[in-house]
Every structure is written in structure tokens, then in C-alpha cells.
Chain A
Amino acid sequence: ETGVTQSPTHLIKTRGQQVTLRCSSQSGHNTVSWYQQALGQGPQFIFQYYREEENGRGNFPPRFSGLQFPNYSSELNVNALELDDSALYLCASSSGLAGGSSGNEQFFGPGTRLTVL
């Protein structure tokens, strides 16, 4: 069973550019959530995708967008990058909607370290 993988491992962009981060969910999982973890902070929920539809969004501006594909892999796109977007971006997958006592545990990938200069 393959775990959650993310690519690239790290990348450097300049302010104003656009970036696409990728996530392959664990085998059998149809739900993907994205989190932003700034230095010294805990992960912050960006949004969740369930069966290719966005199912919930955190307090992030519209320039953060996502996609989920039929094979349940996912992309996180960030437009007009700002210096504060520098962070570790984590993807987590689950078999079904993850939430509360649903029992659908989230499995996290290793993250993509984004640096915006």
C-alpha cells in the first residue's frame, strides 16, 4: 500500500509568481485535504476535496485554489504569491470525509516546502 506522496519536495518562487503543488492520495482514499504550516505554527486547513468536489474551505483567499482528479490525486494552486505564503504545505488523504468521530483517519504526506522570495 502506497502512502501519501507530494511533489515537489521543496521549491523557491518569487513574489507574484504562481505555483502548483501535487499530492497523490493513499490507495483507496477519495478525500484529500490541504494544510499550510507556517514556521513555528500548527497546520492550518486550506480546503478539502471529496470525490472531485470542494467540500469545505478554511480562511484562505481565492488565489488559493485546488483540483481533485478522477484518480483522487490533487493539486493546490497559489496565484500571485506573497512572501507570507512561504510555508510547508501538507496534503492529507482519507477514505471518506474526514471529520469528527467519522473514524476516517487522515494520513499526511511529507509536505512541500515553499519559499517565496
Chain B
Amino acid sequence: DQQVKQNSPSLSVQEGRISILNCDYTNSMFDYFLWYKKYPAEGPTFLISISSIKDKNEDGRFTVFLNKSAKHLSLHIVPSQPGDSAVYFCAAWGHNNNDMRFGAGTRLTVKP
């Protein structure tokens, strides 16, 4: 069951512009959300997270927004850099769960 969905398999943006990656979820028990970045031949690396008690978390060029009523979160990267080109996974934890649910990923390409 796809409890975490990333409906855009790919996204291409110009260097210096904003990248917006979207994620939707169906399980209202999820209370902690994460974004991971994955380069080829490497494991996913943690990027940024947000608790369900917040609606925004910022870390440098990366900001995650959470809209609980819409069960939607997004990752904004500003400004985008070619080194940001990777697959981005949205993931969610439920309270009392040890089972992290991932979306299918969005491949971001930042063109110079």
C-alpha cells in the first residue's frame, strides 16, 4: 500500500532557480517526515526532517513545508545547484512505528 506518494518521477530546473519537490501521504498517524537524497551507487542520505507539530523547517538552502490538513509536504531548494541533482525520497514515521515508509522518489536534474 502506497501510504507515501511522490507523483512526479522527475523534475528539471535551471541552476539558481527554485526546486520544489512534492509528497503526499494518506496515513494520518504519521507524525514525523524526512527527506533523503540519493546519488547513484550510494545509500540515501538524510537531508532534512519535520515534526507534525511544525509547518516549516529550514536548513540553509533547504526548507520543508508541511500541510497536515492536506496531508502534503514539499521540499524547496533555493538556489538550486548542479550538485543537487539526485533522487529525492520523502519518508514518514508513525508514532510507535519502527517502519519508515518511503515514497517512490523524484529524480531532480539541475542544469547549469
B89 within 8 A of A: yes
Q: Is the CB of A98 within 8 A of B104?
A: no
Assuming the contacts A105-B46, A109-B43, asked whether A100 and B102 have C-beta atoms less than 8 A apart, the reply is no
Assuming the contacts A100-B31, A100-B93, A101-B51, asked whether A106 and B42 have C-beta atoms less than 8 A apart, the reply is no
- Of A11-19, A40-48, A68-76, the one contacting chain B is A40-48
Q: In whole angstroms, how far apart are the Cα atoms of A109 and B41 in the complex?
A: 10
Instruction: Pick the contact of B32: A4, A33, A45, A101 (CB < 8 A).
Output: A101
Query: Closest A-chain residue to B87, C-beta based?
Result: A42
Q: Is the CB of B43 within 8 A of A45?
A: no
Query: Closest A-chain residue to B5, C-beta based?
Result: A42
A28 within 8 A of B: no
Further contacts, 8 of them, CB under 8 A, given A100-B31, A100-B97: A4-B43, A42-B91, A45-B101, A48-B99, A56-B98, A100-B95, A101-B32, A108-B44
Q: Write 23 A-B pairs (CB below 8 A) sorted by A numbering.
A: A33-B98, A40-B104, A42-B91, A42-B103, A42-B104, A43-B102, A45-B100, A45-B101, A48-B98, A55-B98, A56-B98, A90-B44, A98-B98, A99-B93, A99-B96, A99-B98, A100-B31, A100-B94, A105-B46, A107-B43, A110-B41, A110-B42, A111-B43
Q: Which 10 A/B pairs are nearest by Cβ-Cβ distance? A: A108-B43, A42-B102, A56-B98, A100-B93, A45-B99, A100-B32, A99-B98, A43-B102, A108-B44, A42-B104
Q: Which A positions have Cβ atoms within 8 angstroms of B?
A: 4, 33, 35, 40-45, 48, 55-56, 58, 90, 92, 97-101, 105-111
Q: Which B positions have Cβ atoms within 8 angstroms of A?
A: 4, 6, 9, 31-32, 36, 41-46, 51, 89, 91, 93-105
